[in-house]
Structure 1
Amino acid sequence: VADVYPLAPLQEGLLFHHLLADGGEDTYVMPTVLEFDSRERLDAFTDALQQVVDRHDTFRTGIVWEGLREPVQVVWRNAQLPVVELELDPCGAEPVEQLLAAGGLSMDLGRAPLLGLHVVAAPGNRWLVLLRIHHLVQDHTTLELLLREVRAVLAGRAAELPEPVPFRAFVGQARAGLDSGKHETFFANLLGDVTEPTAPYGLVDARGDGLDSIQARRDLALDLEARLREVAQKLGASPATVMHVAWARVLAAVSGRDDVVFGTVLFGRMNAGAGSEVPGPFMNTLPVRLRVDETTVVAAVAAMRGQLAGLVEHEYAPLALAQQASGVPGDTPLFTSLLNYRHNVVLSRGIADVSDGIGVVFARERTNYALTMAVDDDGEGLGLTVDAVAPVDADAVAALMDTATESLVVALEEALAGGEDRLLSGVAVLGAAERRRLLVEWNDTA
């Protein structure tokens, strides 16, 4: 053992959900399947990954809680990257499906490292590798840092990498905020009079594993994307703020509520200082709230901008604390939908940049939320990705968000031009096709 210290607040929440899963399928294991064009390239990648694991205490960490007053993370001095060799069944399913099934989604949290490889030789002189990493030790930025360091090792530049910063420094900073009472006050003011969950389509299960979710994607029209950025700039807000307001309008429609609460994903490194370059789980999910029925579109953007700015000051607060500050019963989730506005590099692009001859053949994030809306912003366009569990139609939700975004931008443009500042509840969510399906096709009794 090299070190022992408590969990960060976010890690406590992840561990809680892991224990709810009873050690079975774990929502927080991220699987990615890579393809290599030779065994030599695979072995070089594995060696480089082991060197990165050796560098950072985050990757040499296991979680221990049984028999202890509180959970702790135990940093091992040496943690050998597990590499499991498999053989394909020639009569079985597709190679990627066999690999995912063999690797599974459960991990022994007490054993470091909380990442590992499953390797199989595939037809065509290819090698497939399942890379599994638990969210207790990583987020998107961590994955980018890991790949950047693997690239440096493969290029012979390992000596140029900076001295690693211990994760314990961030943990102390994150836990310090729990003792001040500021988190409780903020969320009590925000959520104290919320007594019912915001459940799109009536779905109140927030303990799923995401395996049965259906994904749909669509891109916003380039003209709409440009107009959205323009109105956001004129209002002194970000495109992310405007998209949060659009999602609130959609949720009001599909949940039958005028006062909506949903989760938003925080980067988690805004107040991290030196921790901004530390591998580990910094991203967090916290609630935002908007009253759709009594707020104009301009006021809604201003309110959301202020609320998101306030959340940054509480980005290390556990979601359970926010839930307890509300009036929603403890056994009922505060919300079951999530919006994630992402600026991150596409995973396949990041892997491909590591070395020639490496590609991504499968990458899928999963959450325990019934409905998630991801907005991907690459600086040139905006894409919508919806993950929804049955019976929700993911394509229909994407269409609602597309229509609501355009309607919201039109309303904001009119208000900025001196016209009426319309109520947010008046922003349309049904396009022409959806309206015809609802009013005509579904009412065709013949």
Structure 2
Amino acid sequence: MDMTDHLRLDLSRAPLLVPFIAADQDSPAWYMVLVCHHIVCDHVALERVSEEVLLLLQSSDADLPPAMQYRSLIAQLINTPQDAHESYFRAVLGDFTVPTALFDVLDVQGTGRDMREARLVISPSTAQRLRSAARCRGASSAALFHLAWAKVLAQCSGQSDVVFGTLLFGRLHGSSGADRAVGMFINTLPFRLDVGDIGVKQALETAFSILAGLLEHEHAPLALAQRCSGVPPQLPLFTTLLNFRHSQRTAQKDHRFPEGVSYLGGDERTNYPVTISIDDWGDSFSIKAQCTNGIDPIRVASYLETAINELAETLAREPGLPMSEIDILPKGEREQLLIAFNDTAVPYPRERLLHQLFEEQATRQPDGTAVVFEDQHLSYDEL
């Protein structure tokens, strides 16, 4: 059969982890598709499943690790009372009443089908500068990127007080074996920060403190956090997602597959109109922006890259500078706005005086509007 016609799976409707293996009758090729939905599985779990499938394909059943009881691990992790979660999020979000919408896009019911993607790589030298800037202020690189994204949101939404979703790993407080368990551990929670006239150093410290606070509630239900806000129930609390993750360069394509098996690729999608993924590779960073149609992912990623560089430079040079002074416009867009769009010089007949030019216009368009003041209008003829 033609595998390109028969292996089209609707990821938006896949509620479970589905290992699918098929053979092409006309060739010895095998196809395996792992459809992972975050209802039941996160990225770490998907890696574990992939590893075990490869062991089975290699007939290495004896090397399979012992199964971890997901229920037991979750029981250990979920030990914070619900009322403690509720008290925390009411204090954080109770007076937040207007959702943060990048470029006024409020739809968070997308399927991910119309997404466009862009990726930027931050060089090792620049990455080292970013890490040093955060470390010297007692913060983490994750806090610095959260602060940068908050600044981008503030500029692109017209609000200084912003909320966006951030992903928490969910396995940090688990017992031994939590790193190998198959199941859903990650969680999305709201990150709120006001980047008005607060100083850059203080803003970074605040961002770091917010992340530390969220870790204490990393398994709180997102629905509970949303109910604790002042945003009307029919509106989303946030419309953008930031995923800061520590990644390894050993990807699926680098695994030692059995002969005849190769890695083709994979996709990540969410229902949010904008998802930003920051990969910390240890020596560098990469920014991946996934945006719905109508929002340019290259533009969004460039804003974040500019903001993070501006913050690092400011922390080293003038840490007390207000966040309102931090720029997010890349050099090319700034020159376009200030220079190219303002290049309004046009040729005109220099041999005639100004009033003569006006008279000629009045002759051509006597009924055209010449002067407007509030709700009053005068035509060229009347003037």
TM-score by length of 1: 0.71
User: What is aligned with 1:427?
Assistant: 326
Task: Quote the sequence identity (%).
Answer: 37
Alpha-carbon shift at residue 144 of structure 1 (Å): 1.8
In structure 2, the partner of 1:360 is: 263
Output the amino acid matched with 1:184: E
Is 1:378 the counterpart of 2:277 in the alignment? no
| C-alpha distance in 1 between matches for 2:226 and 2:145 | 24
**C-alpha distance in 2, partners of 1:442/1:206?**
34
Paired with 1:107 and 1:435, the residues of 2 have a C-alpha distance of: 42
Q: Is the 8 A contact 1:107 1:114 kept in 2?
A: no
For these two proteins, the number of residue pairs brought into alignment is 343
- Post-superposition shift, 1:314? 0.7
What is the Cα deviation at residue 377 of structure 1?
A: 1.2
Residues of 2 paired with 1:108 and 1:217: CA distance? Answer: 26
1:261 counterpart (163, 172, 175): 163
* Partner of residue 280 from structure 1, selected from 183, 193, 198: 183
Q: 2:207 is matched with which residue: 270, 289, 304?
A: 304
C-alpha distance in 2 between matches for 1:99 and 1:352: 27
Q: How does 1:11-410 map to 2 (within 5 A)?
A: 87-88=1-2, 96=4, 98-101=5-8, 103-105=9-11, 114-117=17-20, 119=22, 121=24, 126-154=29-57, 157-177=60-80, 179-274=81-176, 275-345=178-248, 349-356=251-258, 357-410=260-313
1:120 CA displacement: 5.4
3-state secondary structure, aligned to 1:196? coil
Shift of 1:372: 1.2
Q: Secondary structure at the match of 1:163?
A: coil
How much does 1:107 deviate? 5.3
SS at match of 1:246: helix
Would the aligned equivalents of 1:251 and 1:260 in 2 still touch at CA under 8 Å?
Answer: yes
Closer, same or farther in 2 for the Cα pair 1:340/1:370, shift >3 Å? same
Match of residue 53 from structure 1: none
Offset, 1:162: 3.8
After TM superposition, give the deviation of residue 190 of structure 1 in Å: 1.0
- 8 Å contact 1:407–1:428 — kept in the other structure? yes
Residue 433 of structure 1: how far off its partner (Å)? 0.2
Is this contact kept in 1: 2:243–2:278, CA < 8 A? Answer: yes
- The one-letter code of the counterpart of 2:10 is G
* Bigger mean CA deviation after superposition, 257-266 or 423-432: 423-432
Moved more, 304-313 or 433-442: 433-442
- Label 1:122 to 1:201 Cα distance change in 2 as closer, same or farther (>3 A): farther
| Partners of 2:56 and 2:28 in 1: CA distance | 25
> Structure 1, unaligned stretches of length 5 or more?
1-86, 89-94
Instruction: Name the counterpart of 1:51.
Output: none
Which whole-Å deviations, capped at 9, do the CAs of 1:283-342 have from their partners, x for residues lacking one?
111111111113211111111111111111111111111111110011111110111112
**Which whole-Å CA distance do the structure 2 matches of 1:424 and 1:279 have between them?**
42
Whole-angstrom CA distance in 2 between matches of 1:124 and 1:118 = 15
When residues 153 and 121 of structure 1 are mapped into structure 2, their CA distance, relative to the original with a 3 A threshold, is closer
SS of 1:142's equivalent?
A: helix
Going from structure 1 to structure 2, the CA distance change for 1:439 and 1:358 (only over 3 Å counts) comes to farther
Instruction: Check the 8 A contact 1:188/1:326 in 2, yes or no.
Output: yes
Task: Mark the CA change 1:423 to 1:140 in structure 2 (over 3 Å): closer, same or farther.
Answer: same
Superposition deviation, residue 152 in structure 1: 4.1
**1:219 match: secondary structure:** strand
Secondary structure at 1:250's aligned position in 2?
helix
Q: 1:417-446: per-residue Cα shift (whole Å, max 9, x none)?
A: xxx511112111012201122334455678
| SS of alignment partner, residue 303 of structure 1 | helix
Larger of the two Rg values belongs to structure: 2
Contact 2:108/2:273 (CA < 8 Å) preserved in 1?
yes
Separation in 1 of the partners of 2:64 and 2:172? 23
SS for the counterpart of 1:359 is coil
SS in 1 for 2:335: helix
Residues 1:145 and 1:433: Cα distance change in structure 2 (over 3 Å): same
Question: Unpaired runs of 5+ in structure 2?
Answer: 347-383
| Alpha carbons 1:261, 1:288 under 8 Å: kept | yes
Report if aligned partners of 2:14, 2:37 keep a CA contact under 8 Å in 1.
Answer: no
Q: Which amino acid aligns with 1:210?
A: G
Q: Is contact 1:220-1:382 (8 Å) kept?
A: yes
Alpha-carbon deviation of 1:409? 0.5
Counterparts in 2 of 1:130 and 1:108: CA distance versus 1, 3 Å = closer
SS at match of 1:190: helix
Q: 1:310 to 1:106 in 2, by over 3 A?
A: closer
Kept after mapping to 1: 8 A contact 2:108/2:236: yes
Deviation at 1:248, TM superposition (A): 0.8
Report the CA distance between 1:276 and its aligned residue.
Answer: 3.5
